[in-house]
Amino acid sequence: MTEKIRIASKQDAAAILAIYAPYVKETAITFEYEVPTLADFEKRIEQTLARYPYLVAEKEGVIVGYAYAGAYKGRSAYDWSCEVTIYLAKGEKSRGLGTRLYQALEAELYKQNVVQLLACVTAGNSASIKFHEKLGYQQVGNFPNVGYKFNQWYDILWLQKALQEVPRLPADFIAYQK
C-alpha cells in the first residue's frame, strides 16, 4: 500500500473535514459543537500554512490523516513554542501512521527553529495521552472543568516535548515555507 505524507492544500479541505466531522459530532476530543463549513476549513488551512506546516497522510491517494501546528500564544516571546494537533480517519489508529505523520511535522518545525511542542488533550482520552507519551511528550498541566460538551464538564491536559535543546539565545523563528 502506497503511503505519502505531503503538505496540505486548500483543495484537501473536504477530505480533511470528512475526517474531522465525526470527532466533532461524536467525541469530546475537540470542543467544537458544530462541524465547520468547507469554507471555514479552507481558510484554516491557508491561515495555518502562512506560518506553520499543515500535513496530510495519504494511502493510495486517499487522505487518511492530518497534522498541523499553530501558535501557542500570539505574543512574540512564544515564537519558539507551538501547539501541535493530529487527527486520523477511523480505522487508521494503532498502525504507525500517526507516529510517521507527527515525526514529519516535527521535522518541519525543527527547520523553523521551534524549541517546544505543546499538545492539548481532553483528559480521559487515554489513546491520545499514550500516543503523545510514546513520542516523548510529558504532561505539564491539568486544567479541571474547562470544557463543556455533551452535558458534562471535561478537564484538559497539556503535554509538552522539547523538540531541541533549549538554547540560551534562540535562532530566529522561520515562518513555514511550502
Q: How confident is the model at residue 178 (pLDDT cuts 50, 70, 90)?
A: confident
Which residue range forms the structural domain that includes residue 27? 3-162
What mean pLDDT do residues 22-29 have?
96
pLDDT above 70 (res 1): no
Look at the chain and report how many structural domains it folds into. Answer: 1
Nearest by Cα to 40 from 22, 23, 57, 20: 20
Please report whether residue 147 resides in a domain. Answer: yes
Q: In this structure, are strands 62-71 and 152-162 parallel, antiparallel, or unpaired? A: unpaired
Please report whether residue 171 resides in a domain. Answer: no
Please report whether residue 62 resides in a domain. Answer: yes
Helices of type H across 9-143: 13-26, 38-49, 97-111, 126-134
Please give the share of the chain, as a percent, with pLDDT higher than 70. Answer: 99
Please report whether residue 48 resides in a domain. Answer: yes
Q: What is residue 93's predicted lDDT score, i.e. its pLDDT?
A: 72
pLDDT above 90 (res 91): no
What is the C-alpha separation between 32 and 37, in angstroms, rounded? 12
Please report whether residue 90 resides in a domain. Answer: yes
CATH number, position 63: 3.40.630.30
User: Is the pTM value of this prediction over 0.85?
Assistant: yes
Please report whether residue 116 resides in a domain. Answer: yes
